[in-house]
Structure 1
Amino acid sequence: MQYTHLGRSGLSVSRLVLGTMNFGMETEEADSFRIMDAAHAAGINFFDTANQYGGRSGLGGTETIIGRWFAGGGGRRERTVLATKLYSEMEDWPNGGRLSALNIRKALDASLRRLQTDHVDLYQFHHIDRDTPWDEIWQAIDVAVTQGKVLYTGSSNFAGWHLATAQEAARTRNFTGLVSEQSVYNLLARTIELEVIPAAQHNGIGIIPWSPLQGGLLGGVLKKERDSSRRTSGRVKEALEAHRGQIEQYEDFADELGHEPGDVALAWLLRQPAVTAPIIGPRTMEQLDSGIRALDVQLDAAALAKLDEIFPGHKPAPEDYAW
């Protein structure tokens, strides 16, 4: 396994993040345990979840599964850099969501109970809260840090100017502020190259890409259709038809490189500026194994240029659209 620092922090994390959103929704608890054990065995020390995850197991269900896994002992919690998120409404009552000081306190304590731990290594704002001032947010986080319940903070789905505003407010308090930002980022979705990545680089914020395979479109979708006669449907089918030409070129190029399309997509992300680690969210052990395999894929300058040709990206703003 390869390791790096999370943003400008001194925290060492694996270059792949184990995403747990499927635990309790698509993946049963016993299989979730096996996947987490296998992730540790492979050297993945960075696990990501959120208080709203759970699907059919209910809100908070995923954190509960992880907590029961931690309770099994064997150094599981000690060996894990644990990241969770808050923002979404967790109850049908005022102050049950978002980033007020009250909800930060309530949500954090609830997550700690479900996770069966005394602290969260990385506490992330799942979305920007336009109604709560940063002075209030950072004061609440400062209290949590002082109490030893939170070590680092991060964001998710923020715009570049949100990152800048958050950091400026943190600096006025002599506070560390954000060390990471989770954004959708992959070969097909490169909008964050305009302003989010430049803002992250300037402020020492590590990028944690989610949806690295764009819902499976970059995971060999056409090859799977041919091999299994399985057909896509719904929004995935619409997206595939909109990008079919690019996907065909991409899968052919992956064949030329001798790698699976999904491995190439992850390897490309690992070569991008400011990227700390993409999130892989396996439903099965096989999917975990394929994600780990991407660490061995080497992309030279010519391969990277070809991928940019197939999936054109962005220059930083304003150069992308102005002189």
Structure 2
Amino acid sequence: MTLQSRGHLLTEQANPASQTLDHLTPLQLVDLFNQEDAKTIAAIAAARESLAAAITITADALRHGGRLFYIGAGTSGRLGVLDAAECPPTFCTPPDLVQGIIAGGAGALLRSSEGLEDQADDGASAIAHHHVTQLDVVVGITAGGTTPYVHGALHAARQRGAKTIFIACVPAAQVAVEADVDIRLLVGPEILAGSTRLKAGTVTKLALNILSTGTMVQLGKVYGNRMVDVAVTNSKLHDRALRILQDLTDLSREDAGFLLEQSGRRVKLALLMHWTGLDAEAGDRLLSEHQGNLRQAVEAAGPTVNR
């Protein structure tokens, strides 16, 4: 698609509500942003079924040894990298399980490299470089829907048999795509025409939050609404781990700390040990038998005196 043909895209249109943007007071600016940002919540609600389908596909792939890749350029790429980077500390996932790929590589996280988004071959090369297979899921993120880098990557991923998910902020009627799940987040024109780091960026971040967290919930990475697979890597997370143990058991903070150390600082294992009386080695085996799902492991252990 040529640059001249993009003016019809929803993300490129002028917003009637902000035609006097340069005349607004700071308070009026804040009110306008708030009014427009409310549309991101409605857009997520409208895409609920496709987001649920994306969670189902991704969880199934990861459950069977696959990986999740986000790929994009500019703001879209940065958002994917951010979501991927937050999975290891939140869910104790290995760094290669969820990966973010951005046009221009790591340097594009700090410096604008938007010119690289026009190379479809580079997107295909990125898929080859990461050895994407039929086990994996590739999420192409492009606010305006037209980014050649993303389309090249999705095409290459489909050729390799991977599942594909497309996330864009324009209607399918404006930009068609072949993907297993097609997520359209329609927030309308930006306050600053064409600046998709605004509403489009916000709604994309919301969607990625839902996709990654929903997937990890399906994989048993949480218990109730607790982050039981948290990586205890600093004082804040150590405190969180102790509070989770105290909240879900009758232990004092001191005893919770002792149990946490016995488990190798693994909250999930610590809870299983407490509730079942198993030692760390036996508890670890039981968790492995249930693919790390704490609730399933506890139920398999049967009635216990500690829970």
- TM-score, normalisation: structure 2: 0.35
More helix by share: 2
In our comparison, the structure showing a higher alpha carbon Rg is 2
